[in-house]
Structure formats: structure tokens, C-alpha cells
Amino acid sequence: MITFQAPDISQFIQPYEIKCFAVSPDEQHVVWSCNSSGVFNLWAIDEQAAAPYQLTQHHQASDAIQIVASSEQKQPFILFTSDRDGDENMQIYAVAAHGGVPVPVRYDEGKRYFFGAVSEEGKRLYYGSNKENPLYLNIYSYDLESGEERLLLTGAEAETHFQAISPNEQALAYFVRYNHTNMKGYVRSGDRTLPLIPDATEEHKVANLTFANDETLYFLTNYKEEYNYLASFSLKTGTFKKVMSIPAEEIASFQLSRPSGDIYLATSRGVRNSLYRYNVVTRECEKLSIPVDVIYQWMVTEAKTVYVLGSSPTKPANLYRKKADANWQKITENRVPGASEHDLVEPEVITYESYDGTRIESLYYPAKKEMSNGHTIVFPHGGPQFLERKEYYGWFQYFAAKGYNLFIPNFRGSTNYGTRFMKLIEGDWGGGPRRDIIWGIESLIQLGKMTRDQIIVMGASYGGYMSLLLFGRHPGYFVACVDICGPTNLFTMVESVPDHWKARMDSWIGNPIRDRERLIEQSPVTYLDNMKKPVMVVQGANDPRIKKEESDQIVEGLRAKDIEVDYLVFPDEGHGFGKKANEIKAVAEIARFLDQVINKNSEQMASNSMA
């Protein structure tokens, strides 16, 4: 009988990440950014091609792609963004449709460009940048023929982001972000600047500003409601109007289908996404089938072909296409090598009641019974105004296969649960959310899904911060802590974040003078004396969001107290992993660290039981 080896780390982590994609107007070409070769590059597939092919070898991630059919170019070309080793200073490049060496279009060393849109005839590029206004950002246009750049709007008060340009290029739509739940939308036409919601006095957010024509703008907002709904604004009359909503679902994005007049909408409800088609005339809303639980990006073409980039817990991210009156078709073939869907873990969705009666939704990945080591990893998500959803995450599948249960709570402040729930974390990073997690741990212990004295806490970004805070404030619960690029000192964090974030720090985290006592209480470095068990810290040296100095503080502070700390720094990474080799190394080192912890913990528990 032939015995095959069980999947190892690289197999679970090997599925590649697809950052973004674009489709040519004639649907003959699909282009995407992914790290299928181990590093990020642009890849493409043609309508008649049998397999994808690589377009670039620039080896860096992109966050936007657009295929441009310009009347001045003989062939379509591709505009895309790219940073350098995770520094997030996105520059804008062009490459021929058949690939080659990228050509810089908008490039300034150490600055950042926010890709916006290209005019309908492909002559002008619209974008934002921090190059002349690092605190609030500016909006520009660039003539792709003459090379002339024009300053269109100077940001003031808070970060200002381009959203859309009208078909005749006479009206500019943008939003100003004060924080994640306070984003005001505007349209500037000639010498007039109009708020999309006139006379609004309460905080609200807007998103996905889109011109239907030169006089009508559609957008998403939660103004006076819990969830985002679809609204419109008339430039001619200055009138704001609610168009439609879907009960208890957050409309995350939408797209106008101009030939048919339909509006397609992607929604979020807790840990899942849905897709709908809304008929403007009949006002009927039809839910469409999708091949995934979670959508990362999607689009609809003039021929009503729907493209979706998404994943499910046992299905890594892939690109899918559904032509009118046809079934879904996979464009990419991203899978876990050496493992079937049956080998992977489908998480349970568990809802529990927190300390004040607030309902918290969570995901629970049970270890394979034959592999279980009895330990549970509590994994607070990043953001913090984000959430974990039913998507493929190789880390979760790998640790579940190694015998760990995983508990992932969407504590207060998480998105997709309404405006009030999302705002609960503002000015309270380390209070209510921390208690939600502790109550979740106790709930799962009562359910028999977690064992006291066999709990590890691990997280990235805000999740790393929360892991350290839980470890320091509730040391009796945890046998070890893994922090991946997490803030450790809120006083230094609010000063070191990217400049265009700084306007939101006061309402998001707190003021170092006004809120001094609370920031001390909610900073992990305050609790170094309680961190007596093993700690591991992972950090990217180029991280622009959470500087390496944040991790240095906690490592140096613990080592000064003779606490065991493993510190792993990647010189060519930023806030996360862009290179597969680095990610696999990080997971391997964390696994080694945890193996040592649970072996020592098991020995200690056995010794205690004998005594």
C-alpha cells in the first residue's frame, strides 16, 4: 500500500494571492496581479488562450489595474500601480498589452499615488497623491499625450480622495475622510462645490461615488441608517435621494450597467457576501448565485458578463466569469497542492453574548480530531474596523491541520454589523473589544470547544496589538503570544503613522494629552511585568503603517526583564507578506515556536497532575 505524506506548510501557504484584476472593454483580455511565481507580477489570459501568461517581471504588488484603449495608441495598454517591498508608496506605471518592461507614468521616490480613473477616450488620468500635501492629499489630472499635470483640488482638514469624473470631465466627485465612520462626499462642478447630502449634521460615510451621466451621481451612504444603502444626487437640482436598500445588509459596492439600466450590487452580512441585480424601472431586486462566500473584487461588462474575484474557507482565491445565461467558469486554477477540499476545515459560525449583552459573531476552526493537540489559537483580526470572513486563509488551514483549534471573534468595531457596532471601537481600542474576546473565550470553554490552560493568542496589525494587550492584562488565560506587526505603544503609534492618517487619530484612538490615562491603560507596553511566558514578534522592516520601532519597544522591554522573546524581522517586507518565501518562513518559525510552547506546557500539565 502506498502512503502519501500529509500536506506541509508550503502546500497550505502555496495558493497565491490575487490583489486585483481588470478586463479589456472587448473582454478579450483579463489581467491580474498575483504572486503565483512567489513574488507579485502582472499576469493575463486571452479569450482564446489555453493558459495564463506572465506580463511583467517587476516583482512588486499592485493595488489597481486598468486596461486603456486610447485613440492615440495603436494597441491597448495597461496602467497599474506598484510599490517597493511593501512600503505602500504606490507609483503609476504603464506596460504594453502583451507585457514587457513597465514605464513610469507618475513616479516620485518616497511619495504615493492613489489611482483614480481614466477619461472615456483614454487621454487623461485622474488620481490623488501625497507629494505636495502629505497631510490631506491633493487630486490631479495628467494628460497622457502631452505629459501635462494639473492640480484639480487641494485637500484640507482631512485626507481627500478622488472618486469619479463625469463623462464630460466637467464635474469631479470626491470624499473627505475624518475617520472610517465619518466620510463626507462632495461634487465640484465649475466654481460650485456641493455636498452630496445637503445640510447633514450627523456623522455618516459615503463610498463608491459613480456618475450615471453628466448630471446624476450614484453613491453609497449610511446617512441616518445602520447599513449602507444606494443613493443619488442631482447636480442640476442639488437633490439627494435614497434609491434602495437591502434589509440588514451592508451594500459594499455597486456598478451601473448602462446598456440595460440595471444596477448590480455586492452586499455584506457578517462573514459572507452576496450579489444582486436591481432593476431601476421595476424596482425588483434579484439575488444572483456566486461561486464563493467572500468577494474581493467584481465587475460587470456591457455584455452583462459578471467577473468575480473571491474565495471560500476551503477554496483559495480565484477569478470567475459568468456570461449571460451561462454557468460560472473559473479563469484561474488556484488550489492547495496535495490537498482536497475534504482535507480542509470548514469553520463553524458561532454567536455569543458579551459582557453587556452585545451579540458577537465568530468563526471557529476545529482541529482534525486525529491531529488535535488540545490547544486553541485565539486570533483577533486586524483593522480594527475590519473583520474575518468565510474566506481561504492558509494560516488557519495549516494550524488546524497541525492540531490547533482556532477562535476568531468579530468583536465590537468590526464591519458588516451596522454603524453603531462599528463605532463602538472608536476611542476605545483596548476596552470593549478586549472584553468581548475574553467573554468569547469563556463561552467556548463552557461549550467544550476550548480548554483552559491550553490557549495561545496570535494576531497581526491591530490583532497583534490586541494579542499583546490580552497577554499582558489577562496573563492567566494564555501560554504564549505571537504578535505580527502590531502597535505596542499608542503614544508613539499616533505620531508615527502615515501623515495622511494623522487627522483621524484623535477620534479613532485618542489624544495623547486629553486621553493620557486611557492611552496608558490601553498600551501593551504598560503590562510588560505581566508578560512572563514566551512571546514571538514578527515585523516587516518597511512597514509604513506600524513602524518597526513599535515592535522594537516590546522586544527590548521584555528582554530587559529576561523574558523569552523570538524576534523575526523581514528586511524586504512591509505590513504583511508580498513574497511567498518570506511568508512560508514566518509560518514555519511560528510553528516551531508554538511546538516548543505546547510541548513544555504539556510536560508541565503532566507534572502537575502527577503531583
CA 300 vs CA 126, 278, 322, 348: distances in Å: 22, 13, 9, 32
Residue 45's CB: how many other CB atoms inside 10 A? 18
Q: Where are the beta strands (DSSP E) in 130-282?
A: 138-143, 149-154, 159-165, 171-179, 182-189, 192-195, 206-211, 216-221, 229-234, 239-244, 250-257, 262-269, 272-279
Low-confidence ranges of the chain (pLDDT < 50): none
> Which pairing describes strands 306-312 and 138-143: parallel, antiparallel, or unpaired?
unpaired
As given in the structure block, the three cell numbers for residue 432 are 470593549
According to the model, what pLDDT value does residue 72 have? 61
According to the model, what pLDDT value does residue 258 have? 77
Residue-wise pLDDT tens digits, 49-71: 778 999 999 999 999 999 998 65
Query: Is 439 strand, coil or helix?
Result: helix
According to the model, what pLDDT value does residue 606 have? 67
Classify residue 5 by its DSSP letter. P
- What lies within 8 Å, CB to CB, of 124 at 6+ separation is 118, 141, 142, 143, 144, 169
Q: Give the 3-state secondary structure percentages of the chain, helix then strand then coil, rounded to 5.
A: 20, 35, 45
Alpha-carbon gap, residue 301 to 25, rounded angstroms: 8
Residue-wise pLDDT tens digits, 346-375: 999 999 999 999 999 999 999 988 889 999
Q: CB burial class (10 A; 0-12, 13-18, 19+) of residue 524?
A: buried
Q: Where are the beta strands (DSSP E) in 180-225?
A: 182-189, 192-195, 206-211, 216-221
Alpha-carbon gap, residue 305 to 28, rounded angstroms: 12
The answer to whether 275 and 264 have CB atoms below 8 angstroms apart is: yes
Q: Which helix (H) or strand (E) holds 30?
A: strand 29-34
DSSP assignment of 484-518, as one string?
Answer: ES----HHHHHHHS-GGGHHHHHHHT--TTTTHHH
Would the pTM of this model clear 0.85, i.e. be above it? yes
According to the model, what pLDDT value does residue 154 have? 98
Alpha-carbon gap, residue 465 to 384, rounded angstroms: 10
Residue 225's CB: how many other CB atoms inside 10 A? 13
Query: Is 89 strand, coil or helix?
Result: coil
According to the model, what pLDDT value does residue 40 have? 97
